Amino acid sequence: MVVESESTTIHLTQQIIQQNGHGIAGMATSCEEATKIFLREKPNLSLIGLPMCSREGCIELAQLMRQHSRPFLLMASVLDEQCIELVRQTLPTGLLTKPVQPKLLLAQIEIALHHFRRTSEPKPLFTPPADNHLDNILLTNILYLQSDHVYVQIHTTEGDKVLHRSSLTEILRHLPPMRFVQTHRSFAVNIHKLSHWDDRYVYVQEQAIPLSRSRRRKVLSTVRKVTELV
- Does the predicted TM-score (pTM) go above 0.85? no
Q: Are 219 and 225 in contact (CB under 8 A)?
A: no
Give the model's pLDDT for residue 132. 46
Q: What is the mean pLDDT of residues 82-97?
A: 89
State the pLDDT confidence band at 145, using cuts at 50, 70 and 90. Answer: very high
Instruction: Judge whether residue 131 has pLDDT over 50.
Output: no
- In angstroms, rounded to a whole number, what is the distance separating the alpha carbons of residues 178 and 197? 17
Name the segment(s) of the chain with CATH classification 2.40.50.1020: 125-229
pLDDT in tens, 193-225: 988 888 899 999 889 999 999 999 989 888 877
What confidence score (pLDDT) does residue 206 get? 85
Q: How far is CA 109 from CA 9, 54, 62, 95, in A?
A: 16, 24, 17, 11
Contact, 60 vs 89, CB < 8 A? no
* pLDDT of 133 above 50: no
Q: Between the CA of residue 34 and those of 82, 206, 215, what are the distances in Å?
A: 22, 49, 58
Query: How many Å apart are CA 228 and CA 230, to the nearest integer?
Result: 6
Question: Of 48-52, 142-146, 182-186, where does mean pLDDT reach its minimum?
Answer: 48-52
Domain with CATH 3.40.50.2300 in the chain: 2-120
By residue count, the chain amounts to 230
The CATH superfamily assigned to 2-120 is Response regulator (3.40.50.2300)
Taking alpha carbons only, the member of 19, 198, 25 closest to residue 106 is 19
Instruction: Give the N- to C-terminal CA distance of the chain in Å, as an integer.
Output: 33
- Domain 125-229: give its CATH superfamily: LytTr DNA-binding domain (2.40.50.1020)
pLDDT for 59 equals: 86
The predicted pLDDT at position 38 comes to 92
What pLDDT, in 10s, does the model give residues 15-65? 999 888 888 999 999 989 999 999 999 898 999 998 776 778 888 898 888
**Residues near 218 by beta carbon (within 8 Å), at least 6 away in sequence:** 181
- pLDDT above 90 for 189: yes
Residue 200 has φ and ψ, to the nearest 5°, of -115, -25
